[in-house]
Homo-oligomer: A and B are copies of this chain.
């Protein structure tokens, strides 16, 4: 038993405060049992958690394709996946972490037994959502962290250095998505030029990380204050597409040559076609966002110009650890992305702030 091994865990209560999803946009404060970590897992006490656009989606609509059975509108499921926490107790066989370690997280623990996991592609796990097979995607298919405690597989944890605040550390997960994108786009991007479309949290992190890695960064968007923040985070050039045609702007900024890479973070319906036109022949485009509806795409252009396009899910290939490394080395200061902090008890207000972008909220953080 974990309690035998770890006297510290004596302090762990039997139940905890959590927000469970009862129906679309029906999130209620409940008292739930504190979960027990299994082999290879740990229980963590949540320090702080950021709200992601996907949380708003899940809370409002669920994500049926991802979820087996009755989830998420079952009066039990707890959303929330971008968090920093402190290890509270260790599951069987865990010595990789110690009680008291402060950690941030990847969302996906693959099953470890399908072909994709076997080959390191754990965000493409073929047993996605199958808890019995070992898959976990906290806040998606297993309980997340709008709660006092949650459970993580050790594969999803990275230690956070002491000097980084909880608020800042909640942003590491987003940097992981950005780093996964930059990884599939080539990894070593120093000296290349990249357009990041859409200055939401992933786009801003994409701009910051790309610049940290030595690329020349052009950030496009529709709101000047977001673009200004992007510049502060490292973008070399910003383009407000309300004022200038983005493709003309790219031509102007690249002397007509176009760019090497596009990281699409806007989800705009025309983003792929526009992005392809920005690319040099043989360029690459990564989709970290997508429109809700199907969109028309010029496949002929894609083929004739040898363009590769990557859809990415989550933060694969150790991207969270890589993003944390950049942030821990102070390559950029992401803290201005934290717009507001709420106590866990005020989660609904925090969600409303995020959803309605009150005060141009970028990242809203909740602290239990």
Contacts and interface: CB of A to CB of B under 8 A. Distances in A.
Given A121-B282, A317-B119, A302 B306 contact: no
> Within the oligomer, what is the number of copies of this chain?
4
A124 B183 contact: no
A126 B214 CA distance: 23
A294 interface: yes
Interface string A290-326: 1110111111101111111111110011100111111
B292 A295 contact: no
A265 to B, nearest CB: 11
A303 B290 contact: yes
Contact of A190 (B155, B273, B297, B322): B322
A325 B216 contact: yes
A126 B318 contact: no
Contacts of A118: 120, 122, 155, 318
B120 A280 contact: no
B297 A294 contact: yes
B155 A123 contact: no
Nearest to A314: B306
A190 B304 contact: no
Q: Is the interface of A mostly helix, strand, loop or mixed?
A: mixed
B292 A300 contact: yes
A191 B299 contact: no
Nearest to A318: B119
A352 interface: no
A238 B65 CA distance: 29
A83 B282 CA distance: 26
A331 to B, nearest CB: 7
Interface string A151-182: 00111000000000000000000000001001
Interface string A43-71: 00000000000000000000001100000
Interface stretch (A4-12, A23-31, A109-117, A342-350): A109-117
- In this complex, which of A188, A216, A310 has the most chain B Cβ atoms within 10 angstroms of its Cβ? A188
Contact of A296 (B287, B295, B300): B295
A313 B308 CA distance: 11
Contacts of A312: 303, 306
A110 to B, nearest CB: 8
A177 to B, nearest CB: 11
A280 B126 contact: yes
Contact of A290 (B296, B300, B316): B300
Closest 4 CB pairs of A and B: A120-B120, A124-B282, A187-B188, A191-B325
Given A112-B113, A182-B188, A309-B311, 15 more contacts: A65-B304, A66-B304, A96-B113, A116-B280, A125-B281, A186-B187, A187-B188, A191-B321, A191-B323, A191-B325, A214-B329, A290-B304, A291-B299, A294-B297, A306-B313
